[in-house]
Amino acid sequence: MAAAIETKKLTKTYRSRQLGKINVVNELDLHVEEGEIFGFLGPNGAGKTTTIKMLLGIIYPTHGEGYVLGREIGDMDVHRVISYLPERPYYYEHMTGFELLKFYDSLFGNHDPDKCQRLLERVNLAGDASKTINQYSKGMQQRVGLAQSLLNDPKLLFLDEPTGGLDPIAHREIRDLILSFRDEGRTVFISSHELSEVELICDRVAIIHKGEIARQGRLTELLKGGRIEITLQGIDEGLARKLATGGTLHNLSDGYMLDMPEEEDVNAVVDTVRSAKGSIVSMVPRKKRLEDLFVETVRAATPGAAPKLAAEGGV
């Protein structure tokens, strides 16, 4: 598969009077495949939006290279086939939803009211097409934003915190829409720190911290290393210790709790317990969460400031 986004040592440096040179994005190497939903994760101020703006050609990299759909960043032609939904944008509030879509459509030099209508239907706003934006709720505004981002039938969508500040129902609506984008073969690049959302929809993620990529890979691989907790009763301690060779054993008042890596042979444990006439009270898989990965990653990157950063990351 070809790369939808490829960056090589992409760097953005700002100069500040107090702090001197700051690398907001530092030698970033990103790789996003076509047709996947890519989660771009990081605490606030990690450089997510800066990276997106560089990829869109809105700001200019200090050095490094970047390619979007095979074209060097800053190439305006690529804007015909990508789209961007910024974090909590304000649209022209005097326009109706329909007018807003027509306006953005005309920026492509198009004039296709039918398409605008269809897109409004798609984001479930057909009934509110003649309301002005200032009458829209946050979720509706986000949906109309998604509709405008589909105007040019983009191959690649950049969504910056698409579910930020929305209620759970709106979350779900947006999530479903994003998933449908993938089904249509589009690449979706989501920047977010709402890890539970990302976990639900992303194929691959990159975790950026202090302008640098800390982790990057398939979500399934990154989240490997979950554990299983098995609560046992009616066996003696000797057996319990024997079983615990692959994990750790905790004494409970009326039995034992065995904590073992998920890749261990759980079936063998079950068989052994059953044959010893013991009983299995519960078996709880403790899957590795993206949240765990995130905190882990951030802590590893900045040992000193770890708790604070984790808090900032909203995890």
Partner 1 sequence: MNAIWAIASSTVGEAIRRKVLLVILLIALLLLSIIPALGVLSARSEMSAMISTIFFVIRFTSALIAIILTIYMIPNEIERRTIYTILCKPVQRWQFLLGKYFGAVLALALMMGIMTALSLVMFWFLKHPDASKMAEVAKQPILYLVEMSLLAAIAIFFSTFVAPLVNFFISTGLWLVGTVLNPLYDSFATNPQTAPIMKTMAKLITSILPNFANYDVKNPILHPGVVIQNEASYYLKTVGYGFMYIAILLILGIVVFDRREV
Q: Residue 172 CB: number of other CB atoms within 10 A?
A: 14
Closest distance between partner 1 and the C-beta of residue 261, in Å?
45
Would you say 112 and 102 are in contact if contact means Cβ atoms under 8 Å apart?
no
Closest distance between partner 1 and the C-beta of residue 49, in Å?
9
- Report the residue number, 86 or 278, with the smaller CB distance to partner 1: 86
- Report the residue number, 108 or 217, with the smaller CB distance to partner 1: 108
Closest distance between partner 1 and the C-beta of residue 284, in Å?
44
Would you say 221 and 56 are in contact if contact means Cβ atoms under 8 Å apart?
no
Binding site for partner 1 (CB under 8 A): 53, 56-60, 76-77, 79-80, 82-92, 94-95, 103-104, 106-109, 145, 148, 152, 158
Closest distance between partner 1 and the C-beta of residue 225, in Å?
38
- Structural tokens at position 124: 């479930």
- Report the residue number, 152 or 192, with the smaller CB distance to partner 1: 152
Closest distance between partner 1 and the C-beta of residue 164, in Å?
12
- Report the residue number, 102 or 215, with the smaller CB distance to partner 1: 102
- Structural tokens at position 7: 């960056």
Residue from 182, 183, 195, 192 nearest 162 by CA: 192
Intra-chain end-to-end CA distance of the chain, in Å: 33
Report how many helices (DSSP H) and strands (DSSP E) the chain contains, helices first. Answer: 11, 15
- Report the residue number, 106 or 279, with the smaller CB distance to partner 1: 106
- Structural tokens at position 307: 């708790």
Q: How far apart are CA 64 and CA 62, in angstroms?
A: 7
